[in-house]
């Protein structure tokens, strides 16, 4: 059953930086952008590359392996083109909240 779980102290997540936390069996990329906190699975659906190794451009996290871009707010793939082996390349995103200086994820 989904529940709020501690992810990271708010002070440890800097604006525009990516931190990876582990909760259960998931590795989750945490990103603070314009003072909002976003959380998404740290794995590109293309070949499983860690998204942490990518670059953040505005609200798009580009995978470091093949440059696929994902909107950190929705997980949607923002690149156009034909994906022969994938119908809807998307990464899972999670709700976040800040409670008493702690960032929590709803998983």
| Mean pLDDT confidence for 47-73 | 94
Q: Which CATH architecture has domain 4-106?
A: 3-layer Sandwich (2.102)
Residue ranges per structural domain of the chain: 4-106
Return the pLDDT at 66: 87
For 12-30, write each residue's pLDDT tens digit.
Answer: 999 999 999 999 899 999 9
Return the pLDDT at 82: 58
Q: What does the mean pLDDT of the chain come to? A: 92
Of residues 64 and 80, more confidence is placed in: 64
Return the pLDDT at 86: 65
3-class SS letters over the chain: CCCEEEEEEHHHCCECCEEEEEECCEEEEEEEECCEEEEEECCCCCCCCCHHHCEEECCEEECCCCCCEEECCCCEECCCCCCCCCCCCECCEECEEEECCEEEEEC
> Which pLDDT band, with edges at 50, 70 and 90, does 81 fall under?
low
- Does pTM surpass 0.85? yes
């Amino acid at each position: 059953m989904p529940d709020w779980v501690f992810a990271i102290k708010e002070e440890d997540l800097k604006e525009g930086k990516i931190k990876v936390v582990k909760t259960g069996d998931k590795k989750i990329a945490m990103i603070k952008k314009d003072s909002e906190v976003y959380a998404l699975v740290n794995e590109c659906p293309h070949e499983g590359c860690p998204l942490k190794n990518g670059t953040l451009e505005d609200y798009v996290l580009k995978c470091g392996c093949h440059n696929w871009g994902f909107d950190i707010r929705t997980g949607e793939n923002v690149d156009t083109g034909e994906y022969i082996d994938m119908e809807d390349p998307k990464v899972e995103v999670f709700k976040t909240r800040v409670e008493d200086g702690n960032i929590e994820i709803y998983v």
